[in-house]
């Protein structure tokens, strides 16, 4: 047999490697199919939310989407100079906020920007209502000139393509509305008006489901008409409603036609629009992705000069992160101290007593978390069981009862109790695998009880401590209910802040950034643990 030449062949003559790969592939596919439901579940319920959170923490499309023209116009503005942006920016902001108000998106943008600068929310809310005042100036004058300017049909004829107009006239309720199309040439003649009318027509048809033949146009369309007419030359125009348009053009050009500067219009709504800070904020947060949430989460902010620390008064997250870390470490540490002897007893007591003890360890799992936490409130409060006992024993003066709740101490006590089983169980499962013969061997070799424990038993129980500590620390760092109930103001965690942003302030971006940082911290700690102790040193049993 010449096995040395060429690749080894299988019985059917194909190279052995290939037939092996084929055989294995079938197995792999089968295995994959078997775990597919679980994989899908994990992806949907675990990976996807985390990915979404990571994305939300940098996502900032709302500013550019709601104020597309304003952010574009602001690009050339120099925020360093103590000057307001020019009229073009105000004009762009007028049209942007107008349509945003029609779509009821201006309040959302207001709340988004309010995270960066307080007062933005009310500013946008007011402006949504107030912008009509600017347009009404023009609307009224055009209406006085010719009643038709306030009627829907002339506008339809003027702006729409004839085919659309015809289709619209035949339209009956219940049928789909014909899609809007601009009349040829009108966009060159009256560019702004065409744009605004198109926005109006599409919005009316699609969002409201109504016919533009029945709805009078927005005041923004009148404003645009004024701007166009002031610049346009209508001499060659012979399309529909030429008479009406020429008359309007003449009126606009005539002295005595009342105009409003956009800037003054905005100032009329709220003086704040004249503060460069407002425009600066809009400019800084106009990119689609922002590091703003993350900066905010570490007590920093963007300024025109770059990134800087926030005001002393506004810095809270650094403190909260540090406190969360410190308290989680304290909780982990006290859990180790309390759990070690219990786990040792569990592993070394005779079966019957060990089982009883195990039930006592597991008992807390059968009571609601809320009940356990509230029980600590009862125990620890100033008129509570512990203080009463101490006073009764005379150890503490009635006037100087200990404060053990609504502070860090309360949180540490309650959480140590609640997380204790998570420390005991891994420790126990590791300890129960240590045969008693090791300690016996150590003693027979001359080690005292303490030496035998410290040099032989303890090192072998370290993997249990490691596993328990990781479990408790990671649970503690993200704990929410217990600090909320017993933590008061000084004993709350970063997670309480995250919950606040999720459910009360609705600043999900910031909540996501805080969550992402927390995740990062845990991963870094995990990595550090792996480097120092080694992750294969962690055992949950066996």
Binding residues vs other proteins (CB under 8 A): 435, 437-438, 440-449, 451-452, 455-456, 459-460
Which C-beta is closer to other proteins: that of 426 or that of 515? 426
Q: Which residues of 153-163 are buried (b: 16+ CB within 10 A; e: fewer)?
A: ebbbbbbbeee
DSSP letters spanning 412-462: HHHHHHHHHHHHHHHHHHHHTTS-HHHHHHHHHTT--HHHIIIIIIHHHHH
Q: How far apart are CA 107 and CA 301, in angstroms?
A: 23
CA angle 440, 445, 451 (to 5 degrees): 75
Least distance (Å) between residue 431 CB and other proteins: 14
Q: How far apart are CA 89 and CA 87, in angstroms?
A: 5
Which C-beta is closer to other proteins: that of 168 or that of 452? 452
Q: In 172-318, where do the E strands start and end?
A: 300-303, 306-309
Nearest one of 292, 185, 173 to 238, comparing CA atoms:
185
Q: How many Cα atoms occupy the beta-carbon half-sphere of 131 within 13 Å?
A: 27
Q: Which one-letter DSSP state was computed for residue 313?
A: G
Which C-beta is closer to other proteins: that of 276 or that of 541? 541
Which C-beta is closer to other proteins: that of 81 or that of 445? 445
Least distance (Å) between residue 538 CB and other proteins: 15
Which C-beta is closer to other proteins: that of 128 or that of 463? 463
Least distance (Å) between residue 452 CB and other proteins: 7
Which C-beta is closer to other proteins: that of 145 or that of 462? 462
Residues 6+ apart with CB under 8 A from 374: 485
In total, the chain counts a number of residues equal to 542
Instruction: Give the number of other Cβ atoms within 10 Å of residue 447's Cβ.
Output: 16
Hey, which residues does 59 pair with through a beta bridge?
A: 289
Residues 6+ apart with CB under 8 A from 42: none
Q: Helix, strand or coil for residue 287?
A: coil
Least distance (Å) between residue 455 CB and other proteins: 7
Least distance (Å) between residue 340 CB and other proteins: 17
Residue 208 main-chain phi, psi, to 5 deg: -95, -20
Sign of CA pseudo-dihedral 528, 534, 537, 539: positive
Are 286 and 64 a contacting pair, CB within 8 Å? yes
Which C-beta is closer to other proteins: that of 176 or that of 459? 459
Least distance (Å) between residue 355 CB and other proteins: 19
Least distance (Å) between residue 527 CB and other proteins: 24
Residue 307 main-chain phi, psi, to 5 deg: -95, 135
Q: How far apart are CA 84 and CA 501, in angstroms?
A: 33
Least distance (Å) between residue 55 CB and other proteins: 45
Least distance (Å) between residue 542 CB and other proteins: 14
Least distance (Å) between residue 443 CB and other proteins: 4
Burial degree of 30 (CB within 10 A; 0-12, 13-18, 19+): exposed
In order of 70, 71, 89, 109, 524, the CA distances from 67 in angstroms are 5, 6, 11, 9, 39
Which C-beta is closer to other proteins: that of 333 or that of 457? 457
Which C-beta is closer to other proteins: that of 462 or that of 502? 462
Helices (H), 204-241: 219-231
Which C-beta is closer to other proteins: that of 185 or that of 435? 435
Greatest Cα pair distance, the chain, in angstroms, is 116
Least distance (Å) between residue 433 CB and other proteins: 11
Q: How far apart are CA 501 and CA 487, in angstroms?
A: 18
Which C-beta is closer to other proteins: that of 260 or that of 462? 462
Least distance (Å) between residue 437 CB and other proteins: 4
Sign of CA pseudo-dihedral 341, 347, 353, 356: positive
Which C-beta is closer to other proteins: that of 289 or that of 438? 438
């Amino acid at each position: 047999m010449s096995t040395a030449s060429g690749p080894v062949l299988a019985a059917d003559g194909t190279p052995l490697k290939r037939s092996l790969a084929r055989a294995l592939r079938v197995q792999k596919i089968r295995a994959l199919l078997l775990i597919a439901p679980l994989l899908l579940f994990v992806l949907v319920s675990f990976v996807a939310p985390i990915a979404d959170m990571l994305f939300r923490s940098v996502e900032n499309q709302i500013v550019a989407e709601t104020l597309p023209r304003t952010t574009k116009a602001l690009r050339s503005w120099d925020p360093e100079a103590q000057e307001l942006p020019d009229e073009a920016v105000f004009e762009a902001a007028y049209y942007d906020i107008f349509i945003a108000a029609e779509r009821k998106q201006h309040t959302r943008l207001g709340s988004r920007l309010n995270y960066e600068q307080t007062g933005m929310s009310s500013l946008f809310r007011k402006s949504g209502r107030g912008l009509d005042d600017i347009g009404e100036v023009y609307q009224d004058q055009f209406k006085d000139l010719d009643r038709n300017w306030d009627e829907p049909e002339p506008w339809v004829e003027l702006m729409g393509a004839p085919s659309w107009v015809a289709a619209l006239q035949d339209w009956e309720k219940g049928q789909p509305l014909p899609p809007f199309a601009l009349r040829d040439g009108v966009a060159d003649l009256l560019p702004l008006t065409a744009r605004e009318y198109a926005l109006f027509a599409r919005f009316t048809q699609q969002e409201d489901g109504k016919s533009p033949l029945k709805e009078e146009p927005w005041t923004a369309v009148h404003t645009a008409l004024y701007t166009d007419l002031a610049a346009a030359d209508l001499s060659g125009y012979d399309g529909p409603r030429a008479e009406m348009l020429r008359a309007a053009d003449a009126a606009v050009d005539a002295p005595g036609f009342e105009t409003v500067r956009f800037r003054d219009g905005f100032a009329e709504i709220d003086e704040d629009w004249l503060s460069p800070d407002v425009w600066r904020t809009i400019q800084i947060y106009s990119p689609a992705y922002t590091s703003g949430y993350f900066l905010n989460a570490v007590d920093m902010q963007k300024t025109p000069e770059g990134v800087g620390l926030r005001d002393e008064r506004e810095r809270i997250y650094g403190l909260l992160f540090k406190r969360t870390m410190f308290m989680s470490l304290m909780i982990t540490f006290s859990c180790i101290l309390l759990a070690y002897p219990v786990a040792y007893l569990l592993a070394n007591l005779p079966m019957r007593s060990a089982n009883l003890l195990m039930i006592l360890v597991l008992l807390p799992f059968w009571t609601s978390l809320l009940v356990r936490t509230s029980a600590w409130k009862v125990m620890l409060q100033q008129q509570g069981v512990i203080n009463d006992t101490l006073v009764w024993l005379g150890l503490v003066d009635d006037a100087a009862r200990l404060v053990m709740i609504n502070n860090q101490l309360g949180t540490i006590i309650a959480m140590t109790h609640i997380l204790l089983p998570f420390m005991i169980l891994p420790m126990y499962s590791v300890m129960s695998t240590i045969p008693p013969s090791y300690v016996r061997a150590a003693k027979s070799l001359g080690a005292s009880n303490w030496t035998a424990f410290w040099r032989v038993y303890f090192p072998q129980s370290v993997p249990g401590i490691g596993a328990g500590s990781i479990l408790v620390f990671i649970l503690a760092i993200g704990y929410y209910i217990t600090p909320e109930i017993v933590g008061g103001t000084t004993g709350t965690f970063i997670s309480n802040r995250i919950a606040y942003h999720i459910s009360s302030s609705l600043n999900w971006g910031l909540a996501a950034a805080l969550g992402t940082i927390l995740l990062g911290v845990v991963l870094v700690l995990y990595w550090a643990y792996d480097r120092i102790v080694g992750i294969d040193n962690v055992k949950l049993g066996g």
